[in-house]
Amino acid sequence: MNILIDNRQDKVEVINLEELVKKVIKTVLKVEEVIDNVEVSVSFVDNEEIRKLNKYYRGIDKPTDVLSFPLAEFEETYDKIEKIDQESEEVQPIGDIVISLEKALEQSMEYGHSFEREVAYLTAHSMLHLLGYDHQTEEERKIMRQKEEEIMARLNIRR
């Protein structure tokens, strides 16, 4: 498994976040029973950079907490991943995650929990998007929320 992490911001100090993000990603893959021959890219950015990305990709000119960029539709990605031999060195990239650490810090204070919990939650949420989950309908939102809660519980990260 390749987890590539790039810190492109200097507003929030990054202490032990890389290990936390890796642990969350591995837990999501385990919960979803996805083989570990995958690659995920994670970028830590500030509010200004995520605002620009949000405007460009979603047409929303304001900062957000996290953006997910799956490299393919889930079914196509999952089919490719399933075909990779478990012993193979071949790694299947599944997508990119961009987290505004500045927004995560703001939200952690707003919600009254730790910054680490917020980053873990945003990582889990985004990984589920990379694996095809969404929250456009109430039913989708319920399913995704249950998955997020299961992942956070497995990580023993509480509110």
pLDDT in tens, 113-155: 999 999 999 999 999 999 999 999 999 999 999 999 999 999 9
Which domains can be identified in the chain, with CATH numbers?
2-154 (3.40.390.30)
What does the pLDDT average to over 56-70? 97
Tokens of 59: 């047409």
Q: Cβ(17)–Cβ(71) under 8 Å?
A: no
Which residues lie below 8 Å from residue 109, measured CB to CB, with a gap of 6+?
none
**80 pLDDT more than 70:** no
129 annotated as belonging to a binding site for a ligand = yes
Total residue length of the chain: 159
135 annotated as belonging to a binding site for a ligand = yes
113 annotated as belonging to a binding site for a ligand = no
Give the model confidence (pLDDT) of 138-149 as tens digits.
999 999 999 999
Which has the closest alpha carbon to 96: 73, 130, 119, 52?
A: 130
- Three-state DSSP at 44 gives strand
- Read off the pTM: 0.90
